[in-house]
Amino acid sequence: MITEYINAAMEKAKYEIIKDEVPYYGEVAGLKGVWASGKTLEECRRNLAETIEEWIIIRLKKGLSIPPIGKMKFEEPMAMKSFDKIERNIMETTC
């Protein structure tokens, strides 16, 4: 479910080139505070996908709602199952 949401968000992402050492900038309208940059467009896309994933996890952990992206929306029980699975995987890889 999280992967599908991230993919849907990435399809809505907008990119631009800015005057900076890291010139590629991307964001997803509707996901407040979600943006990333990179030295290449591909790096920017990877960074944006990671940012979206971290944003989802933080919002789930804090009990905040996650806005729908197109037809993708989180429903509380399903979202929490996905979060629990991620948390178990993180614990398994760090312990």
Residues 10-60 have pLDDT tens digits of: 999 999 999 999 999 999 999 999 999 999 999 999 999 999 999 999 998
Please state the domain count of the chain: 1
Residue 27's nearest CA partner among 41, 15, 40 is: 15
pLDDT of residue 71: 83
CATH number of the domain that residue 16 is part of: 3.30.160.250
Give the span between the Cα atoms of 38 and 83, in whole angstroms: 27
Residue range of the domain that includes 55: 2-94
* pLDDT on residue 88: 60
Q: Which residue has the higher pLDDT, 1 or 38?
A: 38
**pTM of model > 0.85:** no
Which residue did the predictor score with more confidence, 90 or 66? 66
